[in-house]
Amino acid sequence: MNATRFISVHSPSWTALEALLKKLRTGAKPDGKEFRQLTKLYRAVTSDYSYASTFFPAHDITGYLNRLVAEAHAIIYRRRTMKARLAIPWLFRTVPNLFRKNFPPFALSLSIFVLFAFTGFLGAEYMEEGESIFLSFSLTQPEEAFADNSMYINQTESNIRSGDPFAVYDSPMQSMMSSGIAFHNIRVAFFCFAGGIFAGLVTFYVLATNGMMVGAFFHIFYRHDIIFEFWNTVLLHGMIELTMIVFSAGAGFMIARGLLFPGSLPLGDSLRQSGTQAVQIVIAIALWLLISGSLEGFVTGLEMNSALKLLINFLSFSLLIFYWGFAGKKKERTALVTAAPA
């Protein structure tokens, strides 16, 4: 069969597929009849394509059929993951379960953070100029590490003396500040996460410097003997943020684990798998940071006594525990049972 005859015999099914694809390209869903027609035409066109690429590889018709097959393939084998309907189960079932299934990297990141917080505290206690050294590991900004932070300490000190230790948080344009801070936090979370690709070293650096900074910051208040106030106020602003930064570092370590310990998978597949799992957790982290950041915009402006602060702290703590520790646990078990026979 020559190309001309081939075209004239088979082109009716190509034009039919073209018409169907044109309709489906707008996002319309195929009904039952259309779908059967689509699969039938797809099979016909793929076989035409393989015939054409064998016998007329240089003919224009082969390129045309290649494009037709590619487009039909994209529609038939599409995974519809972007449905709004799936967002809620994904957020409250898939993500917490992913987190619990991949717990070791997160435990690692938490322990690194705590370890370096201790280091920062002890360093501030026993080293000369320790506080300013460790505070100079500017929170969450690796680019600005080692900047001069003595001003920050002096201001906090004078604030403590004047009776309002947390005046650094008060600023004339609070909603703007907190909006900026929330996005900055998300940026840092992304940085922690993406830094995992360097075998986790960048993630480790961000985590360690932040840990030391928090430790040194805590030391200022320890020195002035207002520890309870510290926990109550700093946690009000930072509990969710700090936890989320630590978790995003955990997601970074997930990628590092995929890179360093691919197991039986090829390296590329292992990276891809850990990346697609970790990024889902990171999306949830970004949502947490967004919500906590915008709430903070309101909270910061309010006058609060310590009992109310304690209550809010307790609430956000139990929310964290509930979501990351328990959400979606039961559903997963039943899903596993129903899935087993099939």
Partner 1 sequence: MNPSATAYSIISIETPENISFQYELAGPGTRMVAYLFDFLILMVMMAAIGGVAGWFMSNWGADADFLLAAAIAFVSIAFMLGGYFILFESIMNGQTPGKRLLRIRVLQDNGTPVEFTSIVLRNIFRIVDCMFPFQYAIGTLSLIFSKETQRFGDHLAGTVVVKEAKTQSAKNFIYKDKPVFTGFKQDLFAEPEEFNFLMEYISIYKDLKTADRNRISVKLIRPLIERNKLNLHPELRSLVGHALNPDNREAHKAAEAIMKEVLRHYRNRDKDEDNQK
- Running DSSP on this structure, what letter comes out for residue 129? T
- Is 203 or 313 the residue whose CB approaches partner 1 more closely? 203
Pairwise CA distance, residues 29 & 333, whole Å: 33
> Would you state the structure tokens that stand for residue 141, as one six-digit string?
């900004």
Can you tell me which residue has the tokens 């005859």? 5
Chain center to CA of 29: 31
From the number of C-beta atoms within 10 Å of its C-beta (0-12, 13-18, 19+), residue 67 rates as exposed
Q: Is 26 helix (H, G, I), strand (E, B) or coil?
A: coil
# binding residues, partner 1 (CB under 8 A): 65
Q: What share of the chain is helix, strand, coil (3-state, %, to 5)?
A: 80, 0, 20
Is residue 63 within the footprint of partner 1 (CB under 8 A)? yes
Is residue 91 within the footprint of partner 1 (CB under 8 A)? no
- Is 82 or 302 the residue whose CB approaches partner 1 more closely? 82
Shortest approach of partner 1 to residue 32 CB, angstroms? 21
- Is 112 or 186 the residue whose CB approaches partner 1 more closely? 186
- Is 8 or 305 the residue whose CB approaches partner 1 more closely? 8
To the nearest 10°, report the CA torsion of 205, 207, 209, 214: 180
Is residue 89 within the footprint of partner 1 (CB under 8 A)? no
Rg (CA), the chain: 28
Q: Please give the residues from 156 up to 195 whose contact with partner 1 meets the rule CB under 8 A.
A: 172-173, 175-176, 178-180, 183-184, 186-187, 190-191, 193-195
- Running DSSP on this structure, what letter comes out for residue 78? -
Q: Please give the residues from 195 up to 234 whose contact with partner 1 meets the rule CB under 8 A.
A: 195, 197
What is the contact surface with partner 1 in residues (CB under 8 A)?
Answer: 2-5, 7-8, 11, 14-15, 18, 43, 46-47, 49-50, 53, 56-64, 66-67, 69-70, 73-74, 77-79, 81-82, 172-173, 175-176, 178-180, 183-184, 186-187, 190-191, 193-195, 197, 255, 268, 271-272, 275-276, 279-280, 282-283, 286, 297
